[in-house]
Structure 1
Amino acid sequence: MTRPAYRLVCPLCEEWYEDDGLLLACSEPHADALLKTAYPARRETAGAGGLFRYRDWLPVRRVLPDAGAPAVLPAGELGRRLGLAGLWISFSGYWPEAGAGLATGTFKELEAHTVLGRLPDEPPVLVVASAGNTAAAFAAACSRYRVRCVLVVPAAALPRLRFAGPLDDCVRLIALDGGRYRDAIALAGALGSLPGYQAEGGVRNVARRDGLGTVLLAAYEAMGGMPGWYFQAVGSGAGALGVHEAALRLAEHEDAGPPPKIVMCQNLPYAPIHQRWTGHPASGSDGDLIAPELANANPPYATAGGVADCLAATGGDVLAVGNDDAARAVRLFEEVFGIDIEPSAGVALAALQQAAEAGRVPAGARILLNITGGGRARFAREHVVTPANPAVRLVVPRNRAFPSTEDVLRAIAMTERGDERVVTG
């Protein structure tokens, strides 16, 4: 393990920290803020491909072999159909012909590998909450590199958790029957606060944001410059924030020009960021969505360095589309490119299509559309896949708050024993 060549800084009080691989927040008493990474010099890229090509701008102590990277390509026919001549696509998933080899079909692999590369030697058990995609990425990465982790997901997400082989025993999965994403976040937060466990941190983990920021670094190389606009479906906003922070580093160290306008895309009727940005009241629940992973009820909206600051700094916007529009966009992408994409990526494409039709983006603008997941169905057709087997299944009660102390203790005991059964609440 090498000593990090970067430091962490608080955007509010400007306190500096040497990174221990686990730090998630500034210790000074002030308003909520997201820590940032500060790198000492301009970026140098390694000769090899993959995520760690950009290791000089990743908060990591170690390089993990075989980590994939997004593929960036001109949109071609899709751009012509949308009337956007300068449209490019960043595709994170399984699409071998395009150079994309992320077997779990999601750009969450970028953050998972970076988070593991940041950890100290002999870390505590990592606890991760997910609506499905993040769990798939962390399960695969932690299994490959034998990092102990507990993943908490709604039971409805289990069909997304299929892998090319069985997971290592170091990975423990808790499925919540009747639970939603917010319940997974609540239980993971309770577990992560206990001795011997460590909350992965989500958007507060600098490794997540910087790993996802490699989408912009790869696009900058492929496009020969900075895009003017960036569209992405978001839940917490970690990916969009990571792209913005990477763009600021490019502007500082390489005089790359202004960062792109960030357009965050959400799924109606439950779109927390869109509702706060526009002032529209909520009109549904996360159970009504084609892309429930976008339904993070507590994004870092007003946090210093968070969503509102990013949107204001870039002149960005938040758009929201319904399930039918997102489903049509999914079919459009597969019709044009012959590869399946995830519903959340369909949300971003549908939002871009509507923005183009309304004249909200110039027809000749250089636009980067982040297709955050795809190729999962194709991977399953071409490989023998193994479904994930939960170590624990908990029923989320509707007659009391979840999780109770008893829920947490049951989850710990059963995870450590490796039981597989349903515990009613």
Structure 2
Amino acid sequence: MNATSFGQNTTAPQHLERHYDLVCRACGHTMADDGLTLRCPGNHTPAFLRTRYHDREPAVSPESEGLYRYRRWLPVVRTLPGAGGTVVYRAEVLGRALGLGELWIAFNGYWPERGADLRTGTFKELEAYAVFGRLPERPPVLVVPSVGNTAAAFASVFSRTEVECLLVVPDSGLHRFATVSDIAPTVRLVSITGGDYDDAIELAERVSALPGFRAVGGAWNVARRDGLATVLLSAVEAMGELPEVYVQAVGSAVGAIAVHEAATRLIASGRYGTATPRLLMCQNEGVAPVHRLWHGGPEAHGPVDKEQRRAATGRVYADELVNQRPPYSLTGGIEEALRTSGGDVLRCPGEAARAATELFARTEGIDIEPAAAVAVTCLGRSVQEGRVSSGARVLLNITGGGRARLAAGMEDGRAAQPALRLDFSALDSPGIVQRIRELFPAADVSA
């Protein structure tokens, strides 16, 4: 199959009707989407909803930009001009350094010479563009907890819309806003001094329960998963076939699950073989919740005490990979994707990841984010240990890169200015949620 095997849809309108249904992975219940639904109303064990598109084969809309080229396989009813997307290329030099004969890179970030234009430097923008495109006409205030990358992506994308959005991040993630300029008044940032990602999630859950507010939903949001699934669609368009091995650093593993779902759709079209790519998920040593859950052991669920958790996460190389609540055992979650694909979860120390950052810059010519360096390291070790054959067709997701390149092109470095700063020790204090509610005086409490 060649790289032009995708069909072309040249007549799709800018504003789409909903061209898909939502299907529960547990009970098969099918429903129309309202742009906000996260879960099946059925009484059963937790299970993801999955989109079922009316077009059974992938079709490219060449007049659309970035990830919206694949909008017939995205749950969107509108698009946003200037959207970025994934750039896929064969990496011969890095491949030789890692001992691979066919290494493909899915680059997500800022690299103008390659045509990469994700302005916050990570693939989290793919989620933000897809979530925006899925929303109903008059949405409630979206609430997004984040360690920093997701919040920066939503700040960048949603500042170009009229949708109100609340971002909740630990102070340690504010540096990831350095390349985000002109945050709109409709986007409000709340930071937690001394807190971590788990604190952000807990606070966001409380705010999301308010009338007029709604959780963006993490992995439960089909738009977040299908936005990230365009990484694989871009790769298949470039490669002409599915990879045999897919490698990605993971926190919640939404991107890896999304790639597995996209591979399943492609195979169902009858044109891409029968085997989904083997998923290799990569994490830090020290705090690796997905690794612990997959490999078991007495500490399978990670540190429970908050002080212990904060201390441990503060020492890791890539703090975006420390989600303590990954969607592991539910139907359609991490465990199912790993078992179905014959995958595994790997980890590496920070020293090795730092060396991988230098290797990538030397061989490919661009800076990469810590999480991406973890993935490069784990892939190289997998080849050395015989887990991945030197002749395998491998797709490596560089989930973030080019931030140093972005910063060099900006006049001044920017520090994000939260609308509200909270100390983690005061998060349970009475009135905290109301203080956040007051940041959005126009929120529709009847929503």
- The aligned counterpart of 2:370 is 343
Residue 113 of structure 2 corresponds to residue 97 of structure 1: yes
Alignment of 1:385-400 (within 5 A): 385-397=413-425
> In 2, distance between residues paired with 1:162 and 1:254?
45
Residue 46 of structure 2 corresponds to residue 32 of structure 1: yes
Alignment of 1:332-371 (within 5 A): 332-371=359-398
Tell me how far 1:346 sits from its aligned partner: 0.6
Query: Are residues 5 and 405 of structure 1, via their aligned partners in 2, closer, same or farther at CA, if it must alter by over 3 Å?
Result: farther
Residue 338 of structure 2 corresponds to residue 322 of structure 1: no
8 Å Cα contact 1:159-1:387 kept in structure 2: yes
RMSD: 1.5
- The aligned counterpart of 2:185 is 169
Residue 301 of structure 2 corresponds to residue 289 of structure 1: no
Residue 277 of structure 2 corresponds to residue 252 of structure 1: no
> In 1, distance between residues paired with 2:377 and 2:429?
40
Counterpart of 1:122, as a letter, is R
Query: Are residues 299 and 164 of structure 1, via their aligned partners in 2, closer, same or farther at CA, if it must alter by over 3 Å?
Result: closer
8 Å Cα contact 1:175-1:393 kept in structure 2: yes
Tell me how far 1:356 sits from its aligned partner: 0.9
Counterpart of 1:392, as a letter, is L
> In 2, distance between residues paired with 1:323 and 1:351?
11
For residue 101 of structure 2, the aligned residue among 70, 80, 85 is 85
> In 2, distance between residues paired with 1:390 and 1:16?
41
User: What TM-score do you get using the length of structure 1 for normalisation?
Assistant: 0.95
For residue 60 of structure 2, the aligned residue among 24, 45, 60 is 45
SS in 2 for 1:145: coil
- The aligned counterpart of 1:421 is none
Counterpart of 1:408, as a letter, is V
> In 1, distance between residues paired with 2:284 and 2:221?
24
> In 1, distance between residues paired with 2:162 and 2:437?
19
- The aligned counterpart of 2:7 is none
> In 1, distance between residues paired with 2:314 and 2:156?
26
Task: Give per-residue Cα distances to partners, 1:248-278, cap 9 Å, x unaligned.
Answer: 1111114202210011111110000100111
> In 1, distance between residues paired with 2:133 and 2:205?
22
Aligned residues: 414
Alignment of 1:12-411 (within 5 A): 12-41=26-55, 42-48=57-63, 49-163=65-179, 165-257=181-273, 258-280=275-297, 281=299, 282=302, 285-384=312-411, 385-397=413-425, 402-411=427-436
> In 1, distance between residues paired with 2:364 and 2:394?
18
Tell me how far 1:412 sits from its aligned partner: 2.2
Provide structure 1 residue ranges, at least 5 long, that are not aligned to the other structure: 419-425
- The aligned counterpart of 2:6 is none
Query: Are residues 279 and 164 of structure 1, via their aligned partners in 2, closer, same or farther at CA, if it must alter by over 3 Å?
Result: closer
8 Å Cα contact 2:148-2:177 kept in structure 1: yes
SS in 2 for 1:380: helix
Tell me how far 1:404 sits from its aligned partner: 4.8
> In 2, distance between residues paired with 1:98 and 1:76?
15
Task: Give per-residue Cα distances to partners, 1:47-76, cap 9 Å, x unaligned.
Answer: 134110000000011121111111101111
User: What TM-score do you get using the length of structure 2 for normalisation?
Assistant: 0.90
> In 1, distance between residues paired with 2:28 and 2:211?
29
SS in 1 for 2:159: helix
> In 2, distance between residues paired with 1:277 and 1:403?
33
SS in 1 for 2:160: helix
SS in 2 for 1:163: coil
8 Å Cα contact 2:108-2:122 kept in structure 1: yes
Tell me how far 1:324 sits from its aligned partner: 1.2
> In 2, distance between residues paired with 1:61 and 1:107?
21
8 Å Cα contact 1:75-1:89 kept in structure 2: yes
Task: Give per-residue Cα distances to partners, 1:373-413, cap 9 Å, x unaligned.
Answer: 0001110101235332100000001xx8x445532222223
Identity %: 50
Task: Give per-residue Cα distances to partners, 1:323-355, cap 9 Å, x unaligned.
Answer: 111111111111112211000001111110111
> In 2, distance between residues paired with 1:2 and 1:222?
26
Tell me how far 1:107 sits from its aligned partner: 0.2
Counterpart of 1:3, as a letter, is E
Query: Are residues 405 and 45 of structure 1, via their aligned partners in 2, closer, same or farther at CA, if it must alter by over 3 Å?
Result: farther
8 Å Cα contact 2:99-2:380 kept in structure 1: no
> In 1, distance between residues paired with 2:205 and 2:127?
19
Task: Give per-residue Cα distances to partners, 1:4-52, cap 9 Å, x unaligned.
Answer: 0100000111001100000001111110111100012222111134110
8 Å Cα contact 1:163-1:387 kept in structure 2: no
> In 2, distance between residues paired with 1:99 and 1:244?
26
Tell me how far 1:368 sits from its aligned partner: 0.3
SS in 2 for 1:393: strand
- The aligned counterpart of 1:423 is none
8 Å Cα contact 2:120-2:180 kept in structure 1: no
Task: Give per-residue Cα distances to partners, 1:211-262, cap 9 Å, x unaligned.
Answer: 0000000000111111000000111110001101111111111420221001
8 Å Cα contact 1:59-1:210 kept in structure 2: yes
> In 2, distance between residues paired with 1:325 and 1:346?
9
Tell me how far 1:416 sits from its aligned partner: 3.5
Counterpart of 1:39, as a letter, is Y
SS in 1 for 2:47: coil
8 Å Cα contact 2:91-2:105 kept in structure 1: yes
Counterpart of 1:248, as a letter, is T
Query: Are residues 8 and 405 of structure 1, via their aligned partners in 2, closer, same or farther at CA, if it must alter by over 3 Å?
Result: farther
Task: Give per-residue Cα distances to partners, 1:76-116, cap 9 Å, x unaligned.
Answer: 11000111011110000001111111110000000100000
